[in-house]
């Protein structure tokens, strides 16, 4: 038994997916379809950049989603017990599970990114990663500063989110408490915070126009760190996810407790591999993001 996991924002790099497009007709079809659905060449942006344009939330999220599904379309495997994704990556997981079509998944990712970007302009904020403190210590800091927890990524790595002044106060408190480092994230606003509630409400309205199916493979929810399979629950969690903490460490532990020892990280980069190894070093993580990764698997 294996699990498929999908990366979120931050995994992007210029050139991602180009080799998949060239090597595999299935991947080329995904990119061509994405360009048509979006009405502009997301493939060219993935392949050629520039990085500053690729990194913008409204481009980055559909780009990572497209590359992830382009790799998935080549890598067909049975005995997948669970799928999961980090924030944006949950949409890739839902598509892999059959809950969303690629086209609907892409349109929703684009809409989600636009709503999040609009919220950042209305309610400015930022995110920072706190390294070296436990979740309880970070929670105390959040209560004292007005910051919020955005991601429980792995032991001693907690991302905080919120208004700029709250994060700056939280950073000072974290260093006073003995944090090894506090790193500002290169994102445009306070994602996974209460500042995103209006975006969540708007997404809830948008979801009425989309066909969300029951999942053929259970998807571990960012919101609950438990499997979600039925369409109404998936829909509800998609709304909550925008303003709720991402329980990534808890999700990985749940998957591992279910007997899964091998994770396939499908999409650009290897951020999840690093996190998963810090959560449980006995777990194997195999990256499927480049043509050579797929060639190596097929050659085994």
Supply the residues annotated as catalytic: 87, 192
Of 23, 8, 19, nearest in space to 185 by CA: 8
CA angle 287, 85, 53 (to 5 degrees): 80
CA angle 100, 102, 103 (to 5 degrees): 100
| Dihedral angle, C-alpha 162, 270, 282, 251, nearest 10 ° | 40
Q: Decide: 68 and 109 in contact? Cβ < 8 Å.
A: no
Spatial distance between the Cα atoms of 68 and 216, rounded to a whole number of angstroms: 19
CA angle 85, 17, 101 (to 5 degrees): 50
Spatial distance between the Cα atoms of 164 and 161, rounded to a whole number of angstroms: 9
């Amino acid at each position: 038994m294996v699990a498929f996991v999908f990366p979120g924002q931050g995994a992007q790099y210029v050139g991602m997916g180009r080799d998949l497009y060239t090597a595999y007709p299935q991947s080329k079809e995904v990119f061509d379809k994405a360009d048509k659905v979006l009405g502009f060449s997301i493939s060219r942006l993935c392949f050629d950049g520039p990085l500053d344009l690729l990194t913008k939330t409204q481009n980055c999220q559909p780009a990572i989603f497209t590359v992830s599904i382009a790799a998935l379309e080549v890598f067909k495997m049975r005995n997948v017990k669970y799928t999961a994704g980090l924030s944006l990556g949950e949409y890739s997981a839902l598509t892999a599970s059959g809950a969303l079509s690629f086209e609907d998944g892409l349109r929703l990712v684009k809409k989600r990114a636009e709503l999040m970007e609009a919220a950042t302009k209305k309610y400015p904020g930022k995110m920072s990663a706190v390294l070296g403190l436990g979740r309880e210590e970070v929670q105390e800091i959040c209560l004292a500063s007005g910051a919020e927890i955005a991601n429980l990524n792995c032991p001693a790595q907690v991302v905080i989110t919120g208004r700029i002044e709250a994060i700056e106060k939280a950073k000072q408190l974290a260093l006073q408490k003995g944090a090894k480092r506090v790193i500002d994230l290169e994102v445009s606003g306070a994602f996974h915070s209460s500042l995103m509630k209006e975006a969540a409400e708007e997404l809830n309205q948008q979801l009425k126009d989309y066909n969300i199916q029951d999942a053929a493979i259970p998807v571990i929810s960012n919101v609950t760190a438990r499997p979600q399979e039925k369409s109404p629950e998936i829909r509800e969690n998609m709304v909550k996810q925008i303003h709720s903490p991402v329980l990534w460490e808890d999700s990985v532990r749940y998957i591992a407790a279910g007997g899964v020892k091998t994770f396939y990280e499908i999409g650009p980069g290897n951020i999840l591999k690093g996190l998963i190894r810090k959560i449980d070093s006995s777990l194997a993580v195999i990256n499927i993001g480049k043509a050579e990764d797929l060639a190596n698997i097929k050659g085994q």
